[in-house]
Amino acid sequence: MKNLDTLMEEIIVENNLNDLFVELSKIIVEGNLYLVGGFLYRNFVSKMHSIQINQTSDLDFVVDKIDESKIPVDWHKTKNKYGMVKIILPQNTLDIDFFVRHSNINHLKLDSCIESYLKAVPLTIQSNAFDVEKRKILGDKGIESLNKKIISVNN
């Protein structure tokens, strides 16, 4: 079985995400850009276990801080139901959450960082992230959950 970093590179190519990641990296003013959520784990489950899953073009990111004035003018910017930045593009919808405003992190009184995000998500399968800059999958619990095909309560 291929490792998750290699699988992620395939997912990036298949979904034409390299240019998007470059553009998103330009608006980050503090910390790193992390891809998280359903797009990530659904693609992994599909590729790792040959399970047909309806894929989504909705991508979720967590960051420390962005500069909204640097969002390209041709990107439709709005807010999602949580009041976070939502960007609607022809091929993708992007939700950008901030560690400092993430409800689970705040509820658990955790530090504003990726490690806290990984601890705060409800299910083990959600406890992974892709560090866009370092091109690395993070989250031991999430990786184990994907490998063993076991979903359990994370938080």
Q: Select from 3.40.30.10, 3.30.560.10, 3.30.460.10, 2.40.30.10 the CATH code of 4-148.
A: 3.30.460.10
Whole-number Å distance between alpha carbons of 125 and 40: 10
| Sequence spans of domains, the chain | 4-148
Pairing relationship of beta strands 76-79 and 85-88 according to DSSP bridges: antiparallel
pLDDT in tens, 40-87: 999 999 999 888 887 778 999 999 888 999 999 999 999 988 888 999
Three-state SS annotation for 114-154: HHHHHHHCCEHHHCCEEECCCCEEECHHHHHHHHHCCCCEC
- Average pLDDT of the segment spanning 131-151: 94
Contact between residue 49 and residue 71 where contact means Cβ atoms under 8 Å apart? no
Confidence of residue 2 (pLDDT cuts 50, 70, 90): low
Dihedral, CA atoms, 12, 18, 24, 25, nearest 10 degrees?
110
Which residue stretches of the chain are H helix? 4-14, 18-27, 38-49, 103-107, 114-120, 140-148
Model confidence at 1, pLDDT cuts 50, 70, 90, reads low
Mean pLDDT, rounded, of the chain: 90
What token pair was written down for 120?
């705060």
